Structure 1
Amino acid sequence: MTVEALFDHLWQDYITRLCPSAEKVHTLLKEDEALINDHIALRTFNVAPLGIETLAKPFLDLGYQVSGDYVFEAKKLAAIHLEHSNSLLPKVFISELRVELCSEALQNIVAKLVAQVDETKLSSAEFLYGGRLWDVSHEDFQTLAEESEYASWLAAHGYGANHFTVSVNQLERFQEVVDVNQHLREAGFAINESGGEVKGSPDVLLEQSSTMADKVAVMFSGGEHVVPGGFYEFAKRYQLEDGTYYQGFVAASADKIFESTHQ
């Protein structure tokens, strides 16, 4: 599979299963040129065989390299981001829940999910946009959500892009993230206000915002329920002293972006 094909599959899964409203956002922001995707984000548990390394491998095989690592202590998460030598390709942000830091109840539910995983499916990049590798009850989903929204989201949806990200630097009509937010509000979208509607600043070389997650129907083992799905993010990057643009992530800002999927 080519890297272009992988991102196309991730996009189709994202707009079909996780964030159907993304197509409307895309239409509202698209100009003459195709929108540049700054990055995508993927979630996982740090339990073998599902840790960050497993999700990173298909990208590393396609020429990506690890370019940064992050810790989110309050949410018990660790993360890395990957970059490709072709700067037009999206960065990939992969996070994992540090399950051993969580309650025994959460650990037991995650162990129950991971025990269902067919490891042979992890040998192909297709699992990255294949959804759940387990069955889960709505009761277990709710138990997880009380402690970790991240864990409940992953349990419900499995693998796929938590979000795609429009590069605001490319846009001609909107130079500022706040202007993108206002345009989307006028079209009926809710913006994530946690930590302020714009996370970051020129001082940290990155500004970000996001819609609140779509509500999507998910089939649990006891029936269908509507839960938060994916969201769309917007990022503006600032230049370094050498004239290149900052390519990393700001942990304090990313911490609030995670909350776009809160119930």
Structure 2
Amino acid sequence: MLFWIIVIALALVCGAILGVAVLRGRSGEEPPAAYDLRVYRDQLKEVDRDLARGVIGEEDAERLRAEVSRRILAADAKLRDGGESGGQPKWAGWAVTGLALAGLGGGALLLYSELGAPGYGDVPLKGRIAASDAARADRQTQAEAEAQVPEADMPSDVSEEFLALMEKLRETVEQRPEDQRGLQLLVRNEAALGNLRAAYTAQRQLIEVKGDQATAADYALLTDLMVSAAGGYISQEAEASIRAALEREPREPRARYYLGLYYMQVDRPDAAFRTW
């Protein structure tokens, strides 16, 4: 209720300011007919001065006086027909102001009803941060998130020959678990087959093999595979992978993207904005 009282009060104040501005602007304007009258009177005086200096004769002076006087009468009649202000009546200004306010107010209410949240309570920043911290502490694990994602189908265009090669590759990596080239091939091809869990498991193994030589790109790829396997959800393990990538390279683009996505999922759009 207080919100609407404030809105109505602000609308009335804005309307009053607009109305005063419109009416004050009109009252300060000089009607065109009044300006013409001043000009014609000055012309009459100029005729008398020219006659006194001998620039024109008496006959020309009389003719000019008659012409200027005729124009004065026409301007005076026009001024009287238009009222003292020489323009539209005051009620027209009030009408224009009222219509403008009604249009602006109605448009604002319509826009707010479509985009706003009438009746939505205030959510202080401290409360939002506390709720976000609680959501972060209660994040799902990778296994819990994957359990809610339907199993992906294998691509239909995979040949039997390729599947046979994949079996050999898996056996080779199992026999030679520290073969980095074999692990890289396994990650790439498992992901191509839609076996995202196997792909990120192989990527995690590759990072363990590399040890201190693992790069931010390695952790970013691990994050990408884990998030894809969880249907876009940033799990606790995926967040740890994001942090590991950013520790090695604070500007790693994929890691920064997923960190912003993580902040959005825990209701911290302000942190996501700064990250992105």
TM-score category, normalised to shorter length? under 0.3
TM-score normalized by the length of structure 2: 0.19
Structure with more strand by fraction: 1
**Structure with the greater alpha carbon radius of gyration:** 2
